[in-house]
Amino acid sequence: MSKQPKDFDWDLVEGKGFGGNYTTEQKEKMEAAIEATLNSVTEKEVVKGIVVSKTDREVIINIGFKSDGLVSASEFRDMPDLKAGDEVEVYIENQEDANGQLTLSRKLAKVMGAWTNIEKALEEDTIINGFVKRRTKGGLIVDIFGIEAFLPGSQIDVKPIRDFDIFVGKNMEVKVVKINHTNDNVVVSHKVLIEKDLEAQRQTILTNLDKGQVLEGVIKNMTNFGVFIDLGGVDGLLHITDISWGRINHPQEVLKLDQKIQVVVLDFDENKKRISLGMKQLQAHPWEALAAGTEVGSKVKGKIVNVADYGAFLEVLPGVEGLIHVSEMSWSQHLRNPQDFLKVGDEMEAVVLTLDRSERKMSLGIKQLTEDPWTKTDLLAKYAIGTKHKGTVRNLTNFGLFLELEEGIDGLVHVSDLSWTKKIKHPSEFVKVGDSLDVIVIELDADNRRLALGHKQLEENPWDTFESVFTLGSTHKSTIISKNEKFGVLELPYGIEGLAPLKQLTKADETVAEVGEALDFVVTEFHKEERKIILSHTRTFTAATAEEVAADAAAAKPEKKKAAKSADKPANVTAEKSTMGDIGALSALKEQMEGAEREQAIKKLEKKSSKKAE
């Protein structure tokens, strides 16, 4: 109850109505006296008040203002024993609402107070006792001062936590590490409390750490390159190559999370706090367990653990491997992909080729398990010159192809030995790798492991027959298939090609024959050894000049210059004295003599062509 002012004059109010005889000055003094008994309040702030009364719906609170405030009873559910006279904190929402009522909120007071406490905890780095309410994506939700804060999974402990559910419903000490006022987000950490406790322990470990020291640790994380070991406050890396002497693809093949293991310190950097650990170093090196009887020439058994471009590694013992180079996989001289022979996991036997125990290196071979085909006693008879075989094309080069007749026996077919009639520039025009090809042995050199083969030699040389068919002066129907700067290329009968100088493509109407035209051509030159025939269309409708006739005669027998006629007469003199009549008579006589032979040759070629067609 407010105190009565000392200068209050009751005579002024007696019998005249309340305030009836007050002057304006007196009223102002009265109002000032009343105001002095009230507290001045500010909206949007937290103040303390006294509970005046409580109903099921409302709680009336006096904060020393000119009117009491109302607060919903639901905001005091956590205070079931609340009674008149209790002191509580409330938030002033509105000094006077539409009804002239003071509006208060305990809920907002709690929120404002919580944020004040949170900011103070961040500023003073104090420890808060929180309650884990639930799990969320990436961490936990912790209640601190009635505010939900986020505890990231990485901030729960110094070691990775794989099951967050075990913390739900439990109290946990945390520190505020970040506040985002824009989104009203709070981030807390429990890890910082543990790290602080471990710092002294970590320094003790690092101070006493020494190379070669054996420690016990717990696997806290695994990667494809190694595992991280908790040594009691400090982490060390156990690289995958230092886990086992044998080859492993992933640490999980031999280790598991949370497993306790013994490791040895291989190296450490005190400044960077990096510690390299080893586990295999606690065991004897497997090379020391390699049998004394293992030596060059002996056989070993093992499993293929890796295949590379240059070879494969055979594991004889865990940690003891030997290289099988691709050249030692097959007797074939043409190296292929090692994966054509072996794959990871294959178990096999091999022969020791080299062995260096001090360097812990060993080379192996598997082709040595079979006999070298070039040393077989029947080799000379089996691949004698003239014998026929079938092989597989293994490699193509500019000069020919390599044919595998059997494992380890390869032969070369030169590009010139592929066809009698086709002018092949590259073997790829004739065959491809993997094709089968029939051949005949042309040459054998067993000492140098060389075998020369031929494909065209399986048939008679058609040029022996062509010599009788494409005689000088004979006429043949031919098609122009292409032209270059000097010659036109002709398709002659029986699948062979001929050449015609460009000036000899002139037709009777003085136009030049074009590609695709089929015309009669006269043979002017025939070179059996070079497999070349020169022809002319112009000669089909013009007489040959003396120079052309002389050139024809020289082309027919270039190596015979008629030296037998006169030893003291030069060949050019004889040519100068020859007449057109003499040469004509000789040509006629030659045609009569060769007529029967030519007819037989043509019949032979036609018979051979019909057989190929069948």
Q: According to the 3-state scheme, what is the secondary structure of 312-324?
A: EEEEEECCEEEEE
Beta strand 436-445 with 388-396 is: antiparallel
Is residue 129 domain-resident?
A: no
Q: What secondary structure letter does DSSP report for 155? A: G
392 and 421 share one domain: yes
Region 67-79 average pLDDT = 74
Query: What confidence score (pLDDT) does residue 435 get?
Result: 92
pLDDT at 31 over 70: no
Cα–Cα distance measured from residue 99 to residue 519, given in angstroms and rounded to the nearest whole number: 122
Cα–Cα distance measured from residue 229 to residue 240, given in angstroms and rounded to the nearest whole number: 13
Encoding tokens for residue 340?
Answer: 């054509």
- Among 53-67, 223-237, 288-302, the range scoring the smallest mean pLDDT is 53-67
Query: What confidence score (pLDDT) does residue 428 get?
Result: 92
391 three-class SS: strand
Region 489-514 average pLDDT = 90
**C-beta atoms surrounding 204 within 10 Å:** 13
Query: What confidence score (pLDDT) does residue 389 get?
Result: 93
Region 487-511 average pLDDT = 90
Cα–Cα distance measured from residue 570 to residue 202, given in angstroms and rounded to the nearest whole number: 112
Query: What confidence score (pLDDT) does residue 309 get?
Result: 87
Q: What secondary structure letter does DSSP report for 26? A: H
Region 387-406 average pLDDT = 91
42 and 96 share one domain: yes
More confident residue, 487 or 553: 487
520 and 594 share one domain: yes
Residue 375 backbone class (left: φ over 0; alpha: ψ -120 to 50; beta: rest): alpha
284 three-class SS: coil
Q: What secondary structure letter does DSSP report for 462? A: H
| Residue range 530-542, pLDDT digits in tens | 888 999 999 999 8
CATH of the domain at 593: 2.40.50.140
Region 86-105 average pLDDT = 70
87 and 16 share one domain: yes
Residues 295/352, Cβ–Cβ less than 8 Å: yes
Region 31-36 average pLDDT = 56
Beta strand 475-483 with 487-491 is: antiparallel
Domain encompassing residue 102: 10-106
Is residue 416 domain-resident?
A: yes
Query: What confidence score (pLDDT) does residue 602 get?
Result: 57
Query: What confidence score (pLDDT) does residue 608 get?
Result: 56
394 and 506 share one domain: no
Encoding tokens for residue 547?
Answer: 């120079």
Taking all residues of the chain, what is their mean pLDDT, rounded to a whole number? 79
pLDDT at 334 over 70: no
| Residue range 429-442, pLDDT digits in tens | 999 998 999 999 99
Is residue 268 domain-resident?
A: yes
Query: What confidence score (pLDDT) does residue 39 get?
Result: 53
| Residue range 155-194, pLDDT digits in tens | 888 777 778 888 898 898 888 888 887 777 889 888 888 7
505 and 570 share one domain: yes
**C-beta atoms surrounding 242 within 10 Å:** 18
Region 401-421 average pLDDT = 88
Quickly state the pLDDT bin for 579 (edges 50, 70, 90). Answer: very low
Residues 218/230, Cβ–Cβ less than 8 Å: yes
Among 106, 133, 151, which residue terminates a domain?
106
Cα–Cα distance measured from residue 396 to residue 17, given in angstroms and rounded to the nearest whole number: 131
| Residue range 349-383, pLDDT digits in tens | 999 999 988 888 899 999 888 888 888 878 888 99
Angstrom distances, CA of residue 552 to CA of 220, 474, 560, 577: 96, 12, 13, 17
Beta strand 409-414 with 235-239 is: unpaired
Query: What confidence score (pLDDT) does residue 100 get?
Result: 60
Cα dihedral 21, 22, 23, 29, rounded to 10, equals: 170
Is residue 74 domain-resident?
A: yes
Cα–Cα distance measured from residue 315 to residue 97, given in angstroms and rounded to the nearest whole number: 88
φ and ψ at residue 252, rounded to 5 degrees: -65, -10
Residues 191/158, Cβ–Cβ less than 8 Å: yes
Cα dihedral 467, 472, 476, 478, rounded to 10, equals: 90
- Give Cβ neighbours of residue 455 (< 8 Å, ≥ 6 apart): 413, 417, 418, 419, 437, 438, 439, 440
pLDDT at 566 over 90: no
Residues 580/543, Cβ–Cβ less than 8 Å: no
Cα–Cα distance measured from residue 135 to residue 139, given in angstroms and rounded to the nearest whole number: 6
Query: What confidence score (pLDDT) does residue 576 get?
Result: 36
Query: What confidence score (pLDDT) does residue 584 get?
Result: 43
pLDDT at 207 over 80: no
pLDDT at 600 over 70: no
Encoding tokens for residue 83?
Answer: 């009674």
453 and 474 share one domain: no
Query: What confidence score (pLDDT) does residue 12 get?
Result: 53
Is residue 301 domain-resident?
A: yes
Quickly state the pLDDT bin for 603 (edges 50, 70, 90). Answer: low
Among 282, 308, 333, which residue terminates a domain?
282
Region 382-395 average pLDDT = 91
Quickly state the pLDDT bin for 225 (edges 50, 70, 90). Answer: very high
Region 392-410 average pLDDT = 89
Is residue 557 domain-resident?
A: yes
Quickly state the pLDDT bin for 586 (edges 50, 70, 90). Answer: very low
- Give Cβ neighbours of residue 478 (< 8 Å, ≥ 6 apart): 490, 491, 492, 493, 498, 518, 519, 520, 521, 535
Region 313-339 average pLDDT = 84
Query: What confidence score (pLDDT) does residue 1 get?
Result: 43
Among 458, 479, 505, which residue terminates a domain?
458
Residues 189/174, Cβ–Cβ less than 8 Å: yes
Cα–Cα distance measured from residue 366 to residue 348, given in angstroms and rounded to the nearest whole number: 9
Query: What confidence score (pLDDT) does residue 465 get?
Result: 79
Query: What confidence score (pLDDT) does residue 300 get?
Result: 92
Region 556-574 average pLDDT = 40
**How many structural domains does the chain have?**
5
pLDDT at 333 over 90: no
Query: What confidence score (pLDDT) does residue 373 get?
Result: 85
Is residue 119 domain-resident?
A: no
Of all residues in the chain, what percent carry a pLDDT higher than 70? 78
Region 106-124 average pLDDT = 78
| Amino acid code (one letter) for 339 | Q
Q: Is the pTM of this model over 0.95?
A: no
List the helix and strand counts (H, then E) for the chain: 8, 30
Region 37-65 average pLDDT = 71
305 and 218 share one domain: no
Query: What confidence score (pLDDT) does residue 612 get?
Result: 52
350 and 378 share one domain: no
Residues 113/78, Cβ–Cβ less than 8 Å: no
Query: What confidence score (pLDDT) does residue 57 get?
Result: 81
Region 325-330 average pLDDT = 88
More confident residue, 260 or 581: 260
242 and 360 share one domain: no
Region 501-506 average pLDDT = 93
Is residue 168 domain-resident?
A: no
601 and 478 share one domain: yes
∠ CA 286-288-289 to the nearest 5 degrees? Answer: 65
β-bridge partners, 325: 311
More confident residue, 260 or 202: 260
pLDDT at 594 over 60: no
275 and 302 share one domain: no
Most confident of 70-84, 144-158, 400-414, 598-612: 400-414
Q: What secondary structure letter does DSSP report for 429? A: G
- Among 122-136, 227-241, 562-576, the range scoring the smallest mean pLDDT is 562-576
More confident residue, 58 or 28: 58
- Give Cβ neighbours of residue 369 (< 8 Å, ≥ 6 apart): 299, 349, 350, 351
